[in-house]
Amino acid sequence: MKINAIMAHAADAPLTCDQITLRAVREDDVKIDILYCGVCHSDLHMARNEWGVSQYPLVPGHEIVGRITETGAQVSAFRPGDLVGVGVMVGSCGRCDFCQQQEEQYCEAGFVPTYNGTDPVSGEITRGGYAQSMVVNSKFVVRVPENLDLKAVAPLLCAGVTTWSPLRHWQVKAGDKVGVIGLGGLGHMAVKFAAALGAEVTLFTTSAGKEQDARRLGARHVVISRDAEQMAAWQHRLDFILDCVAAPHDLNPYLNTLRANGQLVLVGIPENPHPAPDITPMVFRRLSVSGTSIGSIRETQEMLDFCGRHNITADVELINGDEVEQAFARMLKSDVKYRFVIDMQATHWRNA
């Protein structure tokens, strides 16, 4: 069937409304009518082919919330009417060690991305959530708690689980002293989650103007990272730091804030590499620098259940499909608190 979608046709052309063909529902698939889709910075990178891998026409979107309208013959976990979400991946090999351990994000064959990937059955390009509907393998679908604000749930499917996964993997718990670097789409979720887990949260930011918002989100302390005196006052005080900044920066000042056995975990991918850190404090205090990628389906469901219990969602600004290009332009200026979300039901498909 034909559906309306917002798509990029070339790297140097604005996104437009058009129609795509939705594949048939297979026995292990569900069909979802999309209510909301978050706008991730990676959508902009892919639309503009800034990573050199974009396949056009390209339908972005991997922060998807909607309701199931149809299920395949072998699907027993879901039924029509269920409120569900789809995140960054829609497939994996299912056979490697990581898939067997339910860590599909590290699939040795590479997970199938929600858009701009290759469907392993048909060989067709996968299409994302800037659309009216989608068909997806039910194993990569998660349940969304009905009590949450749905438009503000969408970013949890990427920004949320990307910060939740390292907090759980490194077993952050009540009483831990946790630092978060950067208060953007990822950082504001990291602050919320760490605080809800009972940690004492310190936000590192270059902007003094973010202090009030950081405290509203759950930060106990705010440190201006450009202020050498403030940074020196935090020497050897933290157990764990989640670095959410995607621009190259010096890691050494943050390593100095860690106590022995501390972890600095990177979730942002800079355009150019970070300068190599000084290994001396790492050796003498047994510090580690690590990276982490999105989260598994199991972690995503765990996160959503946690959010349902604690009423946690993202801070969002709602737009319609006509406003995606303006949202991209504002994202480049960091002019959003903290995530744009497209209201698919309010989108006018006049160009389709």
What predicted TM-score, i.e. pTM, was given to this entire model? 0.95
CA distances from residue 120 to 49, 110, 126 in whole angstroms, order as listed: 23, 11, 10
Rg (CA), the chain: 20
277 vs 280: CA distance, rounded Å? 9
Q: Report which of 95, 304, 334, 118 is spatially closest to residue 213, judged by C-alpha positions.
A: 334
Q: What is the pLDDT of residue 269?
A: 84
Spell out the residues 6+ positions from residue 304 whose beta carbon is closer than 8 angstroms to its own.
Answer: 85, 142, 143, 144, 145, 153, 156
Listed as ranges, residues in the chain with pLDDT below 50 are 351-352
Position 350 scores a pLDDT of 58
List of E strands, the chain: 2-7, 16-21, 29-39, 64-71, 83-86, 89-91, 112-113, 133-137, 142-143, 177-181, 200-205, 221-224, 238-243, 258-266, 288-291, 316-319, 339-343
Q: Which residues contact 118 (CB under 8 A, 6 or more apart)?
A: 112, 124, 125, 126
Give me the pLDDT at residue 271, please. 80
